[in-house]
Amino acid sequence: MLLALLLCYAGFTALCLSLDRHHGELLHSKPSPRRRLGLRLGGWLLLLVSIWPAVQAAGWSRGLVDWCAVLMLSALLLVLLMPYRPRLALILAGVGLLASPVAAFATL
């Protein structure tokens, strides 16, 4: 379930960065249309891929419920971090993406 959490958080962070306000706040620049599209596609792709580890861990019936819980938890974490510690939110997404392969091998 850790892998699903890491992927969901990274996906929501990418979707967050695709918005002008958050991109400017975190990276101090306005995203180009191409970067904005890439962040949106990457964010949605990460959210879709995060279904797989949840289903692998608990089956379709319980895995989808667990995935919904992980979605809500990762979104809540991002929403709580953005106003007070926006740089920490970005750092956690990067660390989560780097730790994802380790979490994937740990579930094998």
Q: What is the pLDDT of residue 88?
A: 94
Q: Based on the number of CB atoms within 10 Å of its own CB, is 28 exposed (0-12), middle (13-18) or buried (19 or more)?
A: exposed
Torsion (CA) 63, 46, 86, 68 in degrees, nearest 10: -20
pLDDT tens digit sequence for 51-108: 999 999 889 999 999 999 999 999 999 999 999 999 999 999 999 999 999 988 887 6
Confidence of residue 40 (pLDDT cuts 50, 70, 90): very high
More confident residue, 40 or 105: 40
Which value, in Å, is the radius of gyration of the alpha carbons in the chain? 14
pTM greater than the 0.85 cutoff: yes
Q: How confident is the model at residue 16 (pLDDT cuts 50, 70, 90)?
A: very high
Per-residue pLDDT band for 25 (boundaries 50, 70, 90) equals confident
